[in-house]
A and B are shown apart, each in its own frame.
Chain A
Amino acid sequence: MKARNSWWLLAVAAALIVASVLIGSRHEGTEFAGTDGQAMKTIATLNPDYQPWFDFIWAPPPEIASGLFALQAALGAGVLGYYLGFKRGQRQGRQSRSDAGD
Chain B
Amino acid sequence: MHITEGFLPPLHAVAWTAASLPFIFFSVYRVNRLMREKPETKLLLAASGAFAFVISALKLPSVTGSCSHATGTGLGAILFGPSVMALLGTIVLAFQTLLLAHGGVTTLGANVFSMAIAGPWVAYAVLRSAKGLKAPLAASVFLAAMLGDLTTYLVTAGQLALAFPDPASGIVGSFLKFTGVFAPTQLPLAVIEGLLTVVIVNFLREYSSDELQNLRFLPKPLVSEARP
Which residues of A are in contact with B by a Cβ distance under 8 Å?
Answer: 2-3, 5-6, 9-10, 12-13, 16-17, 19-21, 23-25, 27, 30-36, 38-40, 42-43, 46-47, 50, 52-60, 65, 68-70, 72-73, 75-80, 82-84, 86-88, 90-91, 94, 97-98, 101
User: Beyond A9-B199, A65-B100, A83-B43, is A17–B61 a contact (Cβ under 8 Å)?
Assistant: yes
Q: How far is the CB of B174 from chain A (nearest CB, A)?
A: 6
Is B192 in contact with chain A by the CB < 8 A criterion? yes
Q: How far is the CB of B145 from chain A (nearest CB, A)?
A: 12
A10 touches B195 (CB 8 A): yes
**From A19, A77, A98, contact of B63 by CB (8 A):** A19
Residue of A nearest to B6 (CB): A52
Q: Which residues of A contact B54 (CB under 8 A)?
A: 72-73, 75-77, 80
Q: Mark B83-121, 1 if CB is under 8 A from A, else 0.
A: 000000000000110111110111000000000000000
Is B46 in contact with chain A by the CB < 8 A criterion? yes
List the count of A-B residue pairs having beta carbons below 8 Å apart: 192
B57 touches A73 (CB 8 A): yes
Q: Which residues of A contact B138 (CB under 8 A)?
A: 5
Residue of A nearest to B205 (CB): A2
B195 touches A46 (CB 8 A): no
> How many angstroms from the CA of A78 to the CA of B47 in the assembled complex?
9
User: Beyond A35-B181, A36-B1, is A56–B104 a contact (Cβ under 8 Å)?
Assistant: yes
Is B215 in contact with chain A by the CB < 8 A criterion? no
Binding site secondary structure of chain A: helix
- Given contacts A39-B160, A76-B50, A80-B51, 6 further A-B pairs with CB under 8 A are A6-B202, A9-B199, A42-B160, A60-B101, A65-B100, A76-B53
Residue of B nearest to A73 (CB): B57
Q: Which residues of A contact B10 (CB under 8 A)?
A: 53
Residue of B nearest to A39 (CB): B181
Is B52 in contact with chain A by the CB < 8 A criterion? yes
Max count, chain A CB within 10 A of own CB: residue among B52, B66, B192? B66
Q: Which residues of A contact B198 (CB under 8 A)?
A: 6, 9
User: Beyond A20-B63, A20-B188, A35-B185, is A40–B164 a contact (Cβ under 8 Å)?
Assistant: no
Q: Mark B34-59, 1 if CB is under 8 A from A, else 0.
A: 00000000011011011111111111
Q: Which residues of B contact A80 (CB under 8 A)?
A: 47, 50-51, 54
B5 touches A55 (CB 8 A): yes
Could you list 18 A-B pairs, sorted by A, with CB under 8 Å?
A: A2-B203, A9-B195, A10-B196, A33-B65, A34-B67, A35-B186, A36-B1, A36-B4, A39-B3, A46-B166, A53-B6, A72-B57, A76-B50, A76-B54, A76-B57, A79-B50, A83-B43, A83-B44
B66 touches A34 (CB 8 A): yes
**From B2, B167, B196, contact of A46 by CB (8 A):** B167
